[in-house]
Amino acid sequence: MRSSTLPMFPGGSMPRSDISIHRLPRLPTFGWAAFTGPRQADLPCILDHPNVVFTSSGRAAIALALRDLGIGPGDRVLVPTYHCPTMIAPVAATGARPLFFPLDDRGTPRVSEIDTWDLSRVRAMIAAHYFGLPQPMARMRQFCDERGIALIEDCAHAMFGEADGRPIGSHGHYAIASLTKFLPTTDGGCLVYGEPPAMPPELPARPVTDQIRIVANTVETGAMHRRLPGINGAVKAGFAAANALRARPRPATIGNGNGSSYSIASGIAEFAPDSKLWSRASLWSRWIARTARRARIVARRRRNYRHLAALLADLPGTRVMRPDLPEHAAPYVFPLWVEAPARIYQRVRSAGVPVFRWDDVWPDIPMMPGDTGSDWAVHVFQLGCHQDLELDDLAVMADTLREILATVEA
């Protein structure tokens, strides 16, 4: 380990010997700290836009936007080559055809190339703010307006920030976001209408059993990560007893996922008419969205991103993609380019590093010269930098990456 050579940062310290990397949460975790500090952040939040409808998830918000547009069989929807398949599933579920477009080296749609295509029956375009780093959406909106295409601004990675001098989520005819990526809860998304909807969707409430389960899972995870000082032991003991009575063992690690592959058939089936996906976010998640202190979320994510940029600047076999964090951004993750990803990704994930990779992509994506999307799907590691990671945690993450890469180099 090279912890002794890592730089000190304000508000941080050297890595603690009692940190277990397997205990690091991949996403924000419920705890008392979520309610400390100023209520508002310096950056605008998509939840403050008018015409916000809370949904069960970000992908459900995409589905609602497509339904509002009346998109169906015979229509086409422009989607990026770099994506999580849950972005494409709502399109396929309508019977429309995804039309994949290329990206430049900053993740911006290559509109000059798209403009040479046959865009007949193209009804909508989904454009994303990758990693929480704002994209130039004004150009996307102009492109869509000139061609009669609805722009769906995907803010799943960008709950806070500005793009082209305007708040995130204000450029699209529709915008969508995900609560779970920025807030300490386990469900919820939102759909933002660019104009007041003539008939807002009437979404049913989640069943009471689901509402209770969401609260229980959130609180239990917070206690397992020791984020509830004073009651951590009591909460863990209570849930351990309940789990024993139900004969439901707890996983050995919390929040690290299993890396299982995405099922396209199951993803499309999620949008059946009777699916729970067509419901509102839970009462718990809507309460968290109102009460969590936003200044802490923004400040700590920006701090963590910059700290990772310093820690990983000289990491062999990698490249920091965006070392300079944009001024008006609150990042979702820290993107790291890895030269030999196939040799280490599962090792990094199994080691407990909070990491994501969009290597499960939709079938039949065309290969286009100069497109970065297909390369990003393989090479880009999305490292956690959320507000519930301490500077010590980031140092342990960096050390773990360095050790794994060292064995590959050897």
Mean pLDDT by 10 residues, the chain (410 residues): 38 45 88 96 96 97 97 98 96 97 97 96 98 96 98 98 97 98 97 93 94 94 92 85 62 40 86 93 97 98 98 96 96 97 93 92 91 96 98 96 86
Q: Which residue has the tokens 């519930």?
A: 388
What pLDDT is attached to residue 260?
Answer: 54
What pLDDT is attached to residue 184?
Answer: 97
> At residue 52, what is the residue type?
V
Q: Number of H helices and number of E strands within the chain?
A: 12, 13
Q: Which residue has the tokens 């989904």?
A: 126
What pLDDT is attached to residue 121?
Answer: 98
* C-alpha separations of 306 from 2, 312, 330, 333 in Å: 19, 10, 11, 11
Instruction: Round to whole Å and give the CA distance between 352 and 393.
Output: 11
* C-alpha separations of 337 from 138, 207, 315 in Å: 28, 42, 11
What pLDDT is attached to residue 10?
Answer: 36
What pLDDT is attached to residue 165?
Answer: 95
Q: Which two three-digit tokens encode residue 219?
A: 């609180």
User: Residues 120, 142: contact at Cβ < 8 Å?
Assistant: no
Q: Which residue has the tokens 């990560």?
A: 225
What pLDDT is attached to residue 152?
Answer: 98
Chain centroid offset of residue 87 CA: 11
Instruction: Round to whole Å and give the CA distance between 338 and 334.
Output: 13
Q: Which two three-digit tokens encode residue 182?
A: 């920025």
pTM: 0.90
User: Residues 330, 301: contact at Cβ < 8 Å?
Assistant: yes
Query: CA 258, 260, 265 angle in degrees (round to 5)?
Result: 145
Please, what are the domains in the chain? 3-39+293-409 (3.90.1150.10), 46-193 (3.40.640.10)
* C-alpha separations of 256 from 22, 52, 330 in Å: 8, 31, 23
